[in-house]
Structure 1
């Protein structure tokens, strides 16, 4: 048996006080980018009581061994938080590793997020949260009289490890010829244990390894391995050869148009592994303190050695998939799977934008647009609770929320001044807890985060001291906005109109102030509820005057403006018919393709459905040219791309300076596939799926559709088939939940469990399985017939 992690209560992360343990640093440590170190000691216990637990944390990253056996199987511990105020610790049951008498404990330490490179380009940050690595630990046992059996103190020894260099972006260099040997001592360092919090979320763990699907040798004699799937993780291999032989592993997400290994888009992230053999038979290796984003590995062997096995090992903080979606369209099914893989590869301690280049940061904008999808695809409640607490820790005094959390620029702002305060990004402080409430009924967390939400709304109002938000254009300006990031602009000869920064910022001020008002009402803060509601009303009225013309054109006359304005009820009733026509024309101008970026894309299809244009939503979703969701799948994507045009139709690579092939934001469309197409969602009035609303959008070209979600209340299932005019919709309401059926106008001859229903209002569904039948309208049948079922595999 091996030691196991003892889970803490995530709602009260600060646990019992520490005893005499001190944070100790290895005196052998030479600083960032230098060989990794260990601290160790021997200790004696009279007997093994069976309940011994080890509490342990570190500055940097750690792995712990007792009597040569590893403690736990968690990766990248103690995790990544806003280190200056919050540092996680883990608690392990370790009785199985102990013996009566003398024991040996060794804690390996490396740079990790604490001090290896953060940020990019000409202004990388090192030693972000500190220049000293260290460890703190205590071993206790109630069976041994409640004694503390061991603590870290300056009597421990230290030495260098075979890990000669490691870094989150860099990779790892390991020389197996070197054995850990004590060569120096340790010193206690100034550290306030109040910063220590029990690990709040699922630890990073390995997923099932992926085998090589194809391999070849390039012109320089290097072997390229294709694992068939882009991941966040690392390569594990077994090698046999002479001492001093070296294996070098490089990583890439894509091949260039000529089929060559290509990782220029990694920028300054070297993302490489070097392993020097000891020469002692079969040697197995996988990195200890880093990870990469990749599908391909290029391996070079120097001197006499041969690989006997190579696999790709995904890692993630979310290890179980909680939803499924399949249809008759293989591209759509692969898009859903691509989103699952993008979440896995980017939910490594924090919700990062990408796992490969010199970035890998917790971008708040990406997280807020994807949060709803994320909570369908995985149990992400504790993951987001932990991260939002870091968002609050990094929030500035004036309420501004950083662009990335944990925020490296907060500690060292010189090269990244003002790296906070963008609408659409900082709104994660409200949007993510709201989605947690919808999915898990987490009212307590709404109350915990409400003050930070209010500070954010007040900050956005203060940017221009009024309801119309006018962000400065320059990076670093107070309230700078990313707008609708990476919105496609169309042909260079005649660029398509896009939403302006002031329209986007004002829209989001309304969205979030209205949301925070609702949240305040839920937690019983009536005064704040009224104040936020008043702000939302003022912004709505001002938006109509500033951004809606008498003829009904909205903002930039672009898809994002219409989508967000319709979805959040910002268009006056007397302008809606005209605005609908302009919205449809904005899509016609793009030849039915997407014209939205990060904030507009999740709203596009739901907004079209809301205005009665479900068929147009289906057209936009199912078209396969760039920009479009299915284009990237046709081009061989196995995760979601950062850019709609990351690979051109001729196979050429877009500008590598900002081009990730594992970026989950546009995968937010999967929320629409589950809530819209499959047709199930939580009810805000009875959250946590206490009530499940079933309201499908029938797209004949996708029939048959099957979807499920393992909700906190149990399994939710929905599937439908189309046969000529007839639709058969089967649903399952989990035990302990109530179901509500809603059908759009136009469906005819409706029956629910064999009984006729007029389709008006809501139809209650008890827990269990139900069969609903109805007929398509002629318009719906015509739309379905215009799509051919695409059965090509990507």
Structure 2
């Protein structure tokens, strides 16, 4: 048995973070035990645990998902901790030692904010020389540089993160970072160099693409604390004794790139002066460091028809190219970044005004070169001015994103679906660079809240996002403080205005709740509850000002953004009534606030917001539903939201589901949803007995569909369903990103429904799950793994050539699952080679399914399904289209219905055999499959 994944505030060995009252978590693996009986947490000031500051003793109250340490933290102190776990079978294991180190906390700064006496357009390096005359025990640098900075100690980069101090609402708070520079210093002369650049703080940024959004001067605050082995210490503080010089970085910007002139030797020395920024906005970091998480090789060097030299990385990625060169002094090498080729040539018009370039002027020495203060979204790189032959091995793609652990993976028998999963994952990597951005390449790269909230479920399966989202929602709360609870559509605002919209601004409630359910740590609800409540209160005020109808009918709404069902081709809002969407989210967020209040034991607020939510739901029902259950709106998104958000009147769900099926039939079983409808689309279908239709939408390959982009060679998720046309031409340059993760939210459905790994709200953190895999005959197998907060889950299924089902499940230690085996009879089910009925597992028949309660362990289930999983026939053609051909019509109208009437097993609603003949799923006995193959094979030939 081992105890692993020790984290403090969901971060491994955090250095210099704002920890608050720290919470520790851990995972136990490699044991046959089922439950944790007790645990012990010990915290000390030394690795040997001689100076213990907390010892829980053997306790039954320590939750591995989050145990808050009852200690008073000291400033600039490293704490070491370990965990011992006792299990129900008598095993005992103690973890390795982990640590966390506090920042300055409330300690006053001795340093001053300084700025160079240079023109504000000149990129500076601020520098300080100092002497160390004793043996060093430890050394830390506490740094905030505006806009972006890199710190070098004795000519070597300190730390392995980039683009510090990251991106937040700089007008509200400023993060400082802590660096362990113990091994970088030496006895004798030392030098600190801090390079500063524009970044989002003072560079061209935001929807206005203007400069100086947060400030117009470079600034640095740096405090180096050196502790010596003799017990003394010294501080090197930024002040007027520091000096400045011009940087080799001549220009930099997030949108436009960077110019680096390495021929510039260390130049004239300039004075620095104090700048009034103050200390009240300073806060120890919340942002995870942005690191080079992966390195990609160039897969091909292309010479285009236009004679350009272009590198193909094979993957749309975010970061930069690092290259080796020994070009003659003065050689100017230019790299231009783009996402797609057009007619075989380099192309980047869809990046709008962003230049996305890197210019390097060589000094004649052999060098490894990279940008310092920008990043790019790209697959292709045009190389100009290169000296000699352009070789693949001289270039490396450095993939940047926030330092998050990968936790989930999905694989199926369909390579296109597998690529779709990877596309969503790469979209997350590219856009989770400190802020969840909409896109990483063009002149935008902003924290659009709607994109973040619709993808948050997928994101939290793919990666451990607790700390990442914790920082983002903190920024949301900061922006709300001066807006009366209103949540801007973009956070940080970055000069974009404070407009709000349903679906976007509901990020304030949805992400904290998603993170709580995913990780089981209510600290995020404690931190964000006032923010969550104030957002709902803001909507309620709009409601009351418009007559207290318990509907949200005022203000501008973004609607079902980029949906395909709008009547106005110039509108991006889609065809679903925006007041319905807004009111649905009004209910949804109110209910989340109610549930959060219950978790936090705020009983009065729980009842207040539950009552509010119920009033909103009843108002929606009165406004949008008839007495017979007919929904007044006929859009896919309207049906989907009504079902997903539980807005359908009692007893009327069957009517709404039937009407929704007719809607999809009219749309030829293709989606027409936008940013709002798409995340809930397949979830609602699978929960409503339309799992076959959910798979149809997943597996469609023609436009509009998820796999259309995959068939067109996409390696990330597109902003639009048709960002690229079938002829390979980009569909337009106005708002057209090829790395825009919102529609990648389908991956959450793949985890939750295809594989069946569903968290349970009242047992959060995956302590208990609802395990509901939903196979479909169009895939031979599907499997998912998820390294949850409680441990590793696995869920996979396979359909044999004979149509039989097998499943494999892994339930981690100290967890349990309620399994629903679909289309099964209890007496036919085997588990781990034995009849299920002969085991001690709690199992029962529930209609057409078998329910089994599982505890920690590995399980292999096998059975013959009650209804055969037949092959997939053409759902791309409606009945009306098929019968245009006389031969086809004869086969369908005469032959197939007769076969179905003779061999059908059970009923599918009230569908007649003729209606079933053009549905995507037929529940038939295996004896008729061969005949169906023949008949439908003839149909396919005649249609194609």
TM-score (norm 1): 0.92
1:778 and 2:867 correspond: yes
Partner of 2:643: 566
Distance 2:760 2:232 in 1: 48
2:251 to 165, 172, 177: 165
* Cα distance between partner residues in 2 of 1:493 and 1:381: 39
Q: Tell me how far apart the structure 1 counterparts of residues 148 and 330 of structure 2 sit (CA, whole Å).
A: 27
Flag the structure with larger Rg: 2
Aligned counterpart, 1:577: 654
Structure 1 5/565 Cα, relative in aligned 2: closer, same or farther at 3 Å? closer
Per-residue displacement from partner, 1:37-94 (whole Å, max 9, x unpaired)? Answer: 1111111222232211111111111111111111111010111111112211111111
Shift in alpha-carbon separation, 1:780–1:508, aligned structure 2, 3 A? farther
Match of 1:616 among 689, 693, 706: 693
Q: Partner residue of 1:641?
A: 718
Structure 1 residues 611 and 589, CA gap change in structure 2 (3 angstroms): same
In structure 2, the residue matched to 1:459 is 538
Measure the CA separation in 2 of the matches of 1:339 and 1:637.
Answer: 11
Q: Mark the runs of 5 or more structure 1 residues left unpaired by the alignment.
A: 410-415, 473-478, 789-794
Look up the match of 2:161: 74
**1:97 alignment partner, one of 184, 192, 212:** 184
Equivalent residue, structure 1, for 2:815: 737
SS across alignment from 2:324: strand
**Which position in structure 2 is the counterpart of 1:651?**
728
Partner of 2:378: 294
Q: 1:531 aligns with which of 588, 593, 608?
A: 608
Deviation at 1:636, TM superposition (A): 0.3
Q: Deviations over 1:164-214 (max 9, x none)?
A: 000011100011101233421111111222322222242111122211212
Matched, 1:423 2:423: no
**In 2, are the aligned partners of 1:467 and 1:535 still within 8 Å (CA)?**
no
Q: How many Å separate the matches in 1 of 2:477 and 2:775?
A: 41
- Whether 1:17 aligns to 2:116 is no
Alpha-carbon distance change, 64 to 497 in structure 1, aligned in 2, over 3 angstroms: closer
Residue 399 of structure 2 corresponds to 314
Structure 1 pair 783–515 and aligned structure 2 pair: CA distance change class (3 A)? farther
Q: Return the offset for 1:657.
A: 0.9
Moved more, 222-231 or 693-702: 693-702
513-522 or 177-186, which deviates more: 177-186
Distance 1:112 1:493, change over 3 A: closer
Q: Is the 8 A contact 1:78 1:90 kept in 2?
A: yes
Map of 1:671 onto structure 2:
748
Deviations 1:364-394, CA, capped at 9 Å, x for gaps = 0011111111111111110000111001101
**Does 1:486 pair with 2:562?**
yes
Distance of aligned partners of 1:741 and 1:545 in 2 relative to their CA distance in 1, 3 Å threshold: same
**What is the CA–CA distance in structure 1 between the aligned matches of 2:873 and 2:807, rounded to whole Å?**
17
- Corresponding residue to 1:84 among 171, 186, 189: 171
What TM-score does the superposition give when structure 2 sets the normalisation length? 0.78
Q: Conserved in 2, the CA contact under 8 Å of 1:205 and 1:319?
A: no
In the other structure, the counterpart of 1:716 is: 793
Show CA shifts across 1:298-357 (max 9, x none): 111178896671222111104542111111100000000111111000000110011000
Shift of 1:278: 0.9
Task: Identify which of 377, 382, 388 aligns with 2:462.
Answer: 377
Q: Which runs of 5+ in 2 are unaligned?
A: 1-12, 22-102, 838-842, 875-919, 922-932, 934-944
Are the aligned partners of 1:467 and 1:506 in contact in 2 as well (CA < 8 Å)? no
1:412 matched residue in structure 2 = none
Kept after mapping to 1: 8 A contact 2:257/2:374: yes
Query: Does 489-498 or 715-724 show the bigger shift?
Result: 489-498
Write the deviation string for residues 600-656 of structure 1: whole angstroms up to 9, x where unpaired: 111111111111111111111111111111111001000011100101112221121
CA contact (8 A) 1:266 1:358 kept: yes
How many residues matched? 765
Question: Compared with structure 1, are the counterparts of its residues 458 and 146 closer, same or farther at alpha carbon in structure 2 (3 Å cutoff)?
Answer: farther
Work out whether residues 497 and 557 of structure 1, in 8 Å CA contact, stay in contact via their aligned partners in 2. Answer: no
Aligned counterpart, 1:607? 684
1:406 aligns with 2:492: yes
Between 752-761 and 444-453, report the one with greater CA deviation: 752-761
User: For 1:709-732, what per-residue CA distance to the aligned partner results, in whole angstroms no more than 9, with x for missing partners?
Assistant: 111211111111112342111111
Q: Is 1:627–2:714 an aligned residue pair?
A: no
Select between 525-534 and 776-785 the one with higher mean Cα deviation: 776-785
Q: 1:155 aligns with which of 227, 241, 266?
A: 241
1:750 aligns with one of 813, 829, 841: 829
Aligned-pair Cα RMSD in Å: 2.4
- Corresponding position: 1:249 with 2:335: yes
CA distance in 1, matches of 2:550, 2:616: 7
Would the alpha carbon gap of residues 710 and 574 (structure 1) be closer, same or farther in structure 2, given more than 3 Å must change? closer
Task: Name the residue aligned to 1:137.
Answer: 222
Separation of aligned partners in 1, 2:679 and 2:212: 37
Q: Distance in 2 between matches of 1:191 and 1:309?
A: 43
Q: 1:285 aligns with which of 357, 369, 379?
A: 369
2:9 matched residue in structure 1:
none
